[in-house]
Amino acid sequence: MGVDVRVPATVANLGPGFDCLGVAVGVHLELSISLADKVEIVGGDPSIPVEDDLTLRAFVSVYAAVGQEAPPVRIEVLGAYPQGRGLGASAAAIVGGLVAARAAGDLDVADSDLARLAIRIEGHADNVLPAMFGGLVLASADGWIRFTPAPGVLPFVLVAPDRSVTAESRRTLPGEVPRADAVANAAATATLVAVLNGVEDPAALMMATADRIHEPYRLPLLPETLDLHQGLRAKGVAAALSGAGPSVVCLSPSDAIEDAVAFARTLLPAGWEVIVPGWDVQGAQVR
């Protein structure tokens, strides 16, 4: 038994879509998983105990869901993107383990059940569901809807050199928000879904990416990110936190993305980089 898995990065909390809107982009985690005499992790974070490895935990959970014991495996990281930068690395690791287990064990687990396992392990549907299914996903406690982004808008990401801790960032968020902020975010999220589906013109991207629920509380903790965010938006570039940060995602009309990227490069602090990944509409793939 051996499988190779390819899982896209994700941008969760997309614009105003806090905890409900995420999208898959074209950079990937690549794993090779094969039978072994004992569990082994190769190429992962050596500071994480083997038993806490997210891919392994996810792999074991699929077998447990069908009443079986998972075999010992060797998990090798063949390719990855930076962790802790707001690109859903934990979600990709979880989804990789889930889809690998189903394929390796030829287990009878439906996509919807695999998705619920992913949400249970990771805790945030807007991260794991785009990684699993690709495209744009709008999720709530009642379910989810997947869309294929229209070609008129493309993303680029300004990737921070240092990582942040999502749990610490989340602690800064208030338990309640003013009604006006909630209404504004609902309107912006609906507009963003319309733009990314090609229903609304990309000219609405600035309105569609304005957040009043989490960015005002998180950005002050990230000075370089705050400066980038403000500088980009001041010049009409639709910038938002990527996940919980510190990276920044920008959405641009596809015919203007070269100019937007060129301008963003003029603002980059030392150590930051730009990637132009495009959308991933396939989601997790097993070979």
Give every CB contact of residue 194 below 8 A, 6+ residues apart in sequence.
200, 204, 208
Give pTM, 2 decimals. 0.94
Distance CA(280)–CA(135), nearest Å, equals 6
* Span 13-24, pLDDT tens digits: 999 999 999 999
% of the chain residues with pLDDT over 90: 88
Distance CA(8)–CA(284), nearest Å, equals 7
* Span 68-97, pLDDT tens digits: 999 999 999 999 888 889 999 999 999 999
Q: What's the rounded mean pLDDT across residues 212-221? A: 95
Tell me the residue length of the chain: 287
Beta bridge partners of residue 155, listed in sequence order: 251
Distance CA(180)–CA(33), nearest Å, equals 49
Average per-residue pLDDT in the chain? 94
More confident residue, 212 or 45: 212
* Span 242-287, pLDDT tens digits: 999 999 999 999 999 999 999 999 999 999 999 999 999 999 999 8
Distance CA(265)–CA(262), nearest Å, equals 5
Please report the domains of the chain, with CATH numbers, ordered by start residue: 2-146+280-286 (3.30.230.10), 153-275 (3.30.70.890)
Give every CB contact of residue 176 below 8 A, 6+ residues apart in sequence.
none
Residue 1 has pLDDT above 80, yes or no: no
Give every CB contact of residue 100 below 8 A, 6+ residues apart in sequence.
3, 5, 31, 33, 55, 59, 286
Inter-residue contact 276 to 181 (CB < 8 Å): no
More confident residue, 113 or 44: 113
Distance CA(207)–CA(271), nearest Å, equals 30
